[in-house]
Structure 1
Amino acid sequence: MESNIAPVRYDRESLLDFFNKLEPLKKDIVSFARTETFVITVKRNELLDIVNQYDNCLFFVIKGFIRGYIVEEGKEITTSLNEEQRLIGKIRNPSVQQALYNEYLQALEDTELLVVPYNIIDGLYTHFPETNALGRKLLAIHYNLSQERSILSRIPSAEARYRQFLANHPYINNRVSVKFLSSYLGMRLETLSRVRSKMKQKD
């Protein structure tokens, strides 16, 4: 079956604006980033081929929504829900050559992604040492999101867990199905439906 993923024209300033808010970039860094990155569109429900076509790349969500998930014993487990202005993909461990798990990325909406190959990132670090400060801030963002997911998964009450998710991400709730959201929150579909119904009655 022919892939629906295709390159598109776009405003290249999206990622640069995001970076500049974290760390001001010099003109030569901006020029380097503009020439070495590109954008693809991913149709709704399509999987992003991060094994063959886009191995060793990070992705910046310009428009749309991406779900990350793993497969355990034939069951899909949602690991991340990513809206616009998110940098997603495999974060490399310098001491481990191969990933410890296989995570898949699926578009839940028609999505535009900026592709940032890791060799470009390495080039920035090598030729523009000041980008290491940007790298540290990006890593801190990823760590914060991972910490949030870790804490969320340990809240014993299903209702408290859902309320905390809503407090942190008030707009995501309306963009993802109950099936994927319940998987992300580590609860049964019936449990989440019951919790949402109970909360609606209280309101």
Structure 2
Amino acid sequence: MIEQLLNRLNALHPMDEQLTGRIKEVTIISTYPAKTYLLRDGQICDRACMVVKGLARAYYVNEDRDITSRFMDEGFIITSWVSYYHQQPGDEFIETLEDTTLACIRYNDIQQLYKDYPIFNIVGRKQTEYSLYTSEMRTRMLRKQTAKERYTFFLQNHPDLLNRVTLKHIASYLGMNEETLSRIRSQFRKGTD
């Protein structure tokens, strides 16, 4: 399972054996059942994890509505970025949607890896760039696209999640209510606009 994490990190930037050995030493493998909260509003996110197997979602609550900010399946990094980077309590929840196995490294261990292995700074920067890119793409989608275009975006970028995520969570992620999503899905099935 650690090999999957190392493959993911090496894909960002090649790492030497000494660094990969140290990553193996500090990585913690944990399995959680579906509907487990990995992080709650008000907690400090003290680790970054890669999903080895399973699925989770990040969301926040606004006026008694939960708003999904992202889904994280196999190969994706799970963390609450604002809380993690600033080591302050966040306003985000992270919940497993399926039985989920994670490969995690604690914040302090990652900071030590940055200090001891300068090449790991490149790995971290590239992961941050990727996370920023995906966040920006979602922000643009929500601001510039119609509800139908947002659903098309979801189909193109997350087709594997359709059968793994409830319509309620998909609608929340796309910034629409369930009724609108159901209507759009019906139009897609009929092949109409």
**After TM superposition, is the score higher than 0.5?**
yes
User: Shift in Å at residue 55 of structure 1?
Assistant: 3.8
Matched, 1:13 2:13: no
Hey, what does 1:121 align to over in structure 2?
110
* Amino acid in the other structure paired with 2:52: I
Offset of residue 90 of structure 1: 2.3
**Aligned pairs, number:** 192
User: Which segment drifts farther, 47-56 or 114-123?
Assistant: 47-56
1:154 aligns with 2:143: yes
CA drift at 1:183:
0.5
Name which of 100, 110, 122 aligns with 1:111: 100
Instruction: Give the stretch that moved more between structures: 41-50 or 14-23.
Output: 41-50
Structure 1: gaps of 5 or more residues: 1-10
Mapping of residues 69-88 of structure 1, within 5 Å: 69-88=59-78
Q: Deviations over 1:139-176 (max 9, x none)?
A: 11101110111011113421111011211222122211
Please show how residues 3-152 of structure 1 align to structure 2 within 5 Å: 11-49=1-39, 55-92=45-82, 98-99=88-89, 101-152=90-141
Structure 1 residues 190 and 91, CA gap change in structure 2 (3 angstroms): same
1:44-88 C-alpha deviation (Å, 9 max, x unpaired): 112114679984111111000001111122221111111110012
- Aligned amino acid, residue 185 of structure 1: L
Within the alignment, does 1:163 sit opposite 2:140 as a pair? Answer: no
For 2:36 and 2:179, locate their aligned partners in 1 and report how far apart those are by CA, in whole Å: 26
Equivalent residues of 1:57, 1:89 under 8 A apart = yes
The separation in 2 between residues aligned to 1:96 and 1:33, in whole angstroms, is: 22
**Change beyond 3 A, Cα 1:184–1:95:** closer
Post-superposition Cα deviations, 1:110-139, rounded to whole Å, max 9, x if no partner, equal 100111111111111111111111111111
Deviations 1:10-55 (A, max 9, x none): x221100111111111111011110111111111112114679984
- SS of 1:174's equivalent? coil
Q: Percent identity?
A: 34
Change (3 A) 1:94 1:19: closer
Matched residue SS, 2:144:
coil
SS at match of 1:175: coil
1:165 partner SS = helix
Letter in 1 for 2:174: L
Q: Which runs of 4+ in 1 moved over 6 A?
A: 51-54
Change (3 A) 1:181 1:194: same
With the length of structure 2 as denominator, give the TM-score of the two structures: 0.91
Q: Does the Cα contact within 8 Å between 1:38 and 1:114 map onto a contact in 2?
A: yes
Where in structure 2 are there 5+ consecutive unaligned residues? none
